[in-house]
């Protein structure tokens, strides 16, 4: 079934035979708690308007990625029908200072092919030994009378940015606009196409361009731009994106999961990039949820690729000299993310390590840190003085020039080893190469460990 046949089928699905792909079922729920406790509650069960876009040959997630995992099992036979590992806003928030002081609640969702009979959903949390601990079970009847099958609010006409084939054998990628008025729709289309082209200029995405379908949606906003509470700017946009998430000025998230999911459900999607109409540097990315980027910043290409890496492949941040929203200094356990390790002698990427390279691998660490800490001090001063964004961009260009020279001319530059400094920590965690797009804004692309992880996820969705 090609993409055009699939679309026609999606519009007339109720009239066709059950042999066609099942609809998409979504379970919205509330995840609440503190740094040390959590609980769950069902919000609603939604029958989304389109068929399930995923690969029917690979319903079970074998990537072992994510802080959480859910399984869908037949309620009678207990057969495993579907599973996915994921991360969440609540999971990130639990590691912030606020979580030790108060309780908060966040909306989350499970999405999976509509089953033919009742199922049990089992939710698991990653344990300290990297195994899984079950934390919640929910029974769902897909044909219950309270399943919401109503049409979601219109997101406007969708834009076919790249159509490569049947969604069931492709990575289906949605670029969703927020903060664009109806008059700015042409700008959104231009921005979305520009960033999609940038994605396919970077390895390993460029080698897998035809494995992607790319769509665009942009529900119109009443006002241009998004919220930035630290400067007194508040917007009620369709998707609800905001700067200053977790009081980090550059962190852009939406906490309106219901709205985000309802708008996104109007195209076939596996992954979503929320493109916010802003010049101010910012973005974010959470594995199997969404990523965000400010469209007009000079470093939008870097932000887009970096944050999408978090979402698609669960990549960790490899940087450690800039501020983090998360509490650091915890015991060194092996991270689940594929591109960082606490075991430099036996890293996850051991098969990729350059011959005869020392593990851990020496690099110009102290020189890098000295310069980077100076840059961070300037960065804070620029924001405190509320200077124009071009001042921040000039600072980043100076940083890029220095770090490209420093990290590109070291003894082990370009080699695969175990370089200390990653995962927001100066010591105890290691990355696979001296430089990477998950480490700096340098134009170096992904390290070997990141490229391998991205290709693994693409294979899961395409069956290749």
Task: List the chain pLDDT tens, one digit each, 464 residues.
Answer: 344 344 433 443 333 334 588 999 999 999 999 999 999 999 999 999 999 999 999 999 999 999 999 999 999 999 999 999 999 999 999 999 999 999 999 999 999 999 999 999 999 999 988 999 999 999 999 999 999 999 999 999 999 999 999 999 999 999 999 999 999 999 999 999 999 999 999 999 999 999 999 999 999 999 999 999 999 999 999 999 999 999 999 999 999 999 999 999 999 999 999 999 999 999 999 999 999 999 999 999 999 999 999 999 999 999 999 876 555 667 778 999 999 999 999 999 999 999 989 999 999 999 999 999 999 999 999 999 999 999 999 999 999 999 999 999 999 999 999 999 999 999 999 999 999 999 999 999 999 999 999 999 999 999 87
User: 346, exposed or middle or buried, with CB in 10 Å at 0-12, 13-18, 19+?
Assistant: exposed
Assigned CATH class of 159-313: alpha beta
Whole-number Å distance between alpha carbons of 359 and 340 = 14
Whole-number Å distance between alpha carbons of 93 and 95 = 5
Specify the CATH number for 22-140; select among 2.60.40.3250, 3.90.550.10, 3.40.190.10, 1.10.10.60.
Answer: 2.60.40.3250
3-state helix/strand/coil string of the chain: CCHHHHHHHHHCHHHCCCCCCCEEEEEEEEEEECCCCEEEEEEEEEEEEEECCCCCCCCCCCCCCCCEEEEEEECCCCCEEEEEEECCHHHHHCCCHHHHCCCEEEEEEEEEECCCCCEEEEEEEECCCCCEEEEEEEEECCCCCCCECCCCCCCCCCEEEECCCCHHHCEEEEEEEECCEHHHHHHHHHHHHHHHHHHCCCCCCHHHHHHEEEEEECCCECCCCCEEHHHCECCCCCCCEECCHHHCCCECEECCHHHHHHHHCCCCCCEEEEEECCCCCCEEEECCCEEEEECCCCCHHHHHHHHHHHHHHCCCCCCCCCCCCCCCCCCCCCCCCCCEECCCCCCCCHHHCCCCCCCCCCCCHHHHHHHHHHHHHHHHHHHHCCCCHHHHHHHHHHHHHHHHHHHHCCCCCCCCCCEEEECCEEEEEEECCCCCCCCCCCCCCCCHHHHHHHHHHHHHHHCC
Q: What is the pTM of this model?
A: 0.93
Q: Where are the domains of the chain?
A: 22-140, 159-313, 340-445
Task: For residue 163, say if its preceding peptide bond is cis, omega within 30 degrees of 0.
Answer: no
């Amino acid at each position: 079934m090609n993409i055009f046949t699939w679309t026609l089928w999606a519009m007339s699905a109720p009239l066709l035979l059950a042999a066609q792909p099942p609809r998409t079922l979504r379970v919205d729920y509330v995840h609440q708690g503190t740094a040390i406790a959590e609980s769950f509650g069902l919000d609603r069960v939604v029958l989304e308007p389109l068929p399930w876009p995923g690969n029917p040959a690979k319903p079970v997630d074998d990537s072992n990625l994510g802080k959480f995992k859910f399984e869908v099992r037949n309620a009678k036979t207990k057969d495993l029908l579907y599973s996915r590992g994921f991360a969440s806003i609540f999971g990130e928030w639990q590691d912030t200072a606020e979580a030790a002081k108060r309780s908060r609640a966040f909306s989350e969702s499970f999405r999976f092919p509509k089953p033919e009979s009742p199922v049990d959903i089992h939710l698991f949390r990653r344990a300290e030994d990297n195994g899984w601990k079950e934390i919640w079970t929910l029974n769902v009847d897909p044909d219950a009378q309270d399943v919401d099958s109503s049409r979601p609010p219109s997101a406007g006409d969708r834009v076919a940015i790249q159509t490569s084939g049947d969604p069931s054998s492709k990575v289906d990628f949605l670029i969703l606009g927020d903060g664009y008025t109806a008059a700015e729709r042409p700008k959104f289309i231009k921005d979305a196409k520009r960033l999609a082209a940038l994605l396919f200029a970077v390895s390993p995405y460029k080698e897998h361009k035809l494995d992607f379908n790319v769509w665009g949606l942009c529900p119109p906003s009443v006002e241009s731009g998004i919220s930035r509470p630290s400067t007194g700017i508040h917007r009620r946009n369709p998707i609800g994106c905001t700067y200053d998430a977790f009081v980090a000025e550059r962190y852009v998230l939406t906490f309106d999961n219901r709205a985000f999911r309802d708008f996104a459900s109007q195209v076939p999607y596996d992954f979503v990039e929320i493109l916010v109409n802003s010049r101010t540097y910012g973005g974010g990315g959470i594995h199997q949820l969404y990523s965000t980027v400010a469209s007009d910043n000079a470093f939008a290409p870097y932000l887009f690729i970096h944050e999408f890496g978090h979402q698609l492949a669960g990549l960790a941040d490899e940087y450690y000299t800039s501020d983090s929203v998360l509490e650091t200094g915890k015991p060194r356990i092996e991270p689940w993310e594929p591109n960082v390790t606490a075991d430099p002698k036996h890293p996850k990427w051991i098969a990729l390590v350059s011959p005869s390279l020392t593990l851990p691998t020496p690099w110009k660490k102290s020189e890098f840190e000295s310069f980077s800490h100076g840059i961070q001090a300037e960065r804070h001063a620029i924001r405190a003085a509320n200077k124009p964004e071009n001042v921040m961009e000039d600072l980043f260009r100076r940083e890029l020039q220095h770090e490209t020279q420093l990290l590109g001319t070291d003894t082990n530059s370009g080699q695969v080893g175990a370089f200390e400094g990653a995962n927001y920590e100066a010591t105890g965690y290691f990355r696979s190469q001296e430089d990477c797009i998950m480490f700096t804004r340098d134009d170096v692309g992904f390290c070997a460990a990141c490229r391998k992880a991205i290709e693994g996820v693409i294979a899961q969705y395409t069956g290749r």
